[in-house]
Structure 1
Amino acid sequence: MGLSGISPVAQFLMAQKNEVKAAADSVKGDNTAKRMVADFQDKAPSITTADQLMRNYSANQVVLKAYNLSSLGSQQAIEKALLTQDPTSSSSLARTSQNASWLAFADAFSSMGAGHGTASATPFTSDMIATTVSSYEQRQYETSDAQQKDGVGDALYFTRKMQSGTVKTVNDLMADPTLLRVAEVVSGYDPDQFGALDFDQQKRIISNKVDMNSFSKPDAVQRYAERYLTQIQMHPSYNSDDKPASMIDLFGGDDGGDGILALFGGSGDGTSSSGLF
């Protein structure tokens, strides 16, 4: 049962009504997050290179969290490749990986990628800064202890991400560890046990269990998120602190060096040459 006897589904429905405002208010009450947002807003308009972004801790953390890619903070070779390679190139890591989350990130900073890490003008327009801050605030809110306790934060993220229409294939879903976690639980699997399977096994199971076409209907996405919360309530152990393996982990990445890049035949300074799939 959720906070003050309110079920997780009821908490989810209430949080959904005005998540953007609730998230913004939550960050205002978090001094660390508030300072990071302020620093990002101050520095972003002058950032034109990948190095400038990656060397500014606050700005980089805000950007990565906005794209639900905080794990790349410890995978800098990957982030550098995404920011310094032209995402329209068929040999770029963003393309060869078939990872929709990486591609969306690389596309957002395509002006840097096209210039091998240097853009002629900052990609951080006023609109992009506002959008990035809003996305960061929502992820900060969704990943807070209060929202993670009963799975509500994951349900909120799943709903808005799937209703955006940007997740179209099983690969797209599996590229995002939060979306994959929801699919695992709704499909009846313990995320810890599912995460021990190799990527091909996971993909085969998810492909058989999840009808991606159904997510084109907002109501179906909503019901799916509610099913996730019901499963978490029935199986509290599924909502442990040990999150499922990300695509980086599934591909054998580590915390240093090029790691996963070797699987794509490239490194952080060059371009990839072959796809994994």
Structure 2
Amino acid sequence: MVLWRRRLMGLGGISPVAQFLMAQKNEVQTAADSVKGDNTAKRMVSDFQDKAPSITTAKQLMSNYSANQVVLKAYNLSSLSGQQAVEKALLTQDPTSSSSLAQTSRNASWLAFADAFASMGAGHGTASATPFTSDMMASTVSAYEQRQYETSDAQQKNGVGDALYFTRRMQSGKIKTVDDLMADPTLLRVAEVVSGYDPDQFGALDFDQQKRIISNKVDMKTFSQPENVQRYAERYLTQLQIHPSYNSDDKPASMIDLFGGDDGGDGILALFGGSGDGGTSSSGLF
């Protein structure tokens, strides 16, 4: 009984669930304060705020390391920094087109990213005016700060960061299908753990097997109620306390990994019938 209680308690005798509930109360401000104490993150935000107002093309965004990293992390798509052909396709194709990667992938995260830069996509990578309005810059910085906070070592140690992200994302109402959930590696990880699976072992399964299991284990309709999302996140934290080995340093597979993509050339794009630039060679990004 004593061992059980210890497992369910976190740093300083406070359980991860209690830490999660406290962090939820004012995460936006806490995250902003956290970044102020992180010199690297603070410099990235400053550089983004300085450069973003003059960015009108996909090339300019992708060529500016700080600005691009801030934007990608804000959309929980940092993995795309190693898949530039994918990012280029999302920024240079009209997201409303049925043949665009954003549409054919059925990836909610990719579509949200492409929609945010639709003015670039509609102009094949060039917008008539910067998409970074003052409101967009503010929301991007806030989202970046939250992800920076949620993915910090302190918040990842016991799963609190993932629980915060899961709750925020699922309560947005934008994740409606199993495909939407599986397109986001953090959401998928939470579902794996709550369903009783070790993420490392689950990641060894092929995509079809994973989807079949998650479809049988997760009722997406229940997430339409905010309180159900909250309880699910709390179950995730409890499961990690019972099975600490589930929370290893290994990160969950991204959608690119699940689809069998690699780090070179078009990779995953071949699965959607084209290359990063709509059919032309990808030997050069631009």
Q: TM-score, normalised by structure 2?
A: 0.94
Provide the C-alpha distance between the structure 2 equivalents of 1:22 and 1:159, rounded to a whole number of angstroms: 17
Tell whether the 8 Å contact from 1:39 to 1:58 is kept in structure 2 after alignment.
Answer: yes
1:158 alignment partner, one of 150, 166, 173: 166
Structure 1 stretches (4+) deviating beyond 2 angstroms?
270-277
* 2:184–2:254 contact (8 Å) kept in structure 1: yes
Cα distance in structure 1, aligned partners of 2:195 and 2:44: 37
Deviation of 1:97 (Å): 0.7
CA distance in 1, matches of 2:250, 2:281: 31
RMSD, aligned CA: 3.2
Q: Give the length in aligned residue pairs.
A: 277
**TM-superposed deviation, 1:274:** 22
Q: 1:96·1:274 contact (CA, 8 Å) conserved in 2?
A: no
> Deviation per CA, 1:116-155, whole angstroms, max 9, x where unpaired?
0000000000000000000000000000000000000000
Deviation, 1:244, is 1.8
| Identity among equivalent pairs (%) | 90
| CA distance, structure 2, for counterparts of residue 220 and residue 189 of structure 1 | 20
CA distance in 1, matches of 2:43, 2:170: 30
Moved more, 264-273 or 113-122: 264-273
| 1:267 counterpart SS class | coil
1:150 aligns to what SS in structure 2?
coil
| Deviation at residue 197 of structure 1 after TM alignment | 0.7
Structure 1 residue 271: deviation in Å?
8.6
Corresponding residue of 2:86: 78
- The answer (yes or no) to whether the contact 1:87–1:95 under 8 Å persists in 2 is yes
Q: What is the deviation of 1:273?
A: 16
CA–CA distance in 2 between the matches of 1:84 and 1:23? 32
**2:271 aligned counterpart, secondary structure:** helix
3-state SS of 1:87 partner: coil
Q: Take 1:218 and 1:274, find their aligned partners in 2: how far apart are those partners?
A: 46
| TM-fit CA distance, 1:275 | 24
Q: CA separation of 1:196/1:274 partners in 2, compared to 1, >3 Å: closer, same or farther? A: farther
CA distance in 1, matches of 2:156, 2:204: 22
**Local SS of the residue matching 1:59:** helix
Structure 1 unaligned residues grouped into runs of 5+: none
Q: What is the CA deviation profile of residues 150-173 of structure 1, one whole-angstrom value per residue up to 9, with x for unaligned ones? A: 000000000010011111111110
TM-score (norm 1): 0.97
CA deviation vs aligned residue, 1:162-212 (integer Å, no higher than 9, x gap): 011111111110100000000000000000011111111111111111111
Q: How many Å apart are 1:263 and its aligned residue? A: 1.3
Q: 1:92, 1:272 within 8 Å by CA — same for their partners in 2?
A: no
| Pair 1:20–1:94, CA change in 2 (3 A) | same
Over 3 Å counting, the alpha-carbon distance change for 1:170 and 1:274 in structure 2 is farther
Higher mean Cα deviation, 73-82 or 260-269? 260-269
Distance across 2 between alignment mates of 1:207 and 1:106: 26
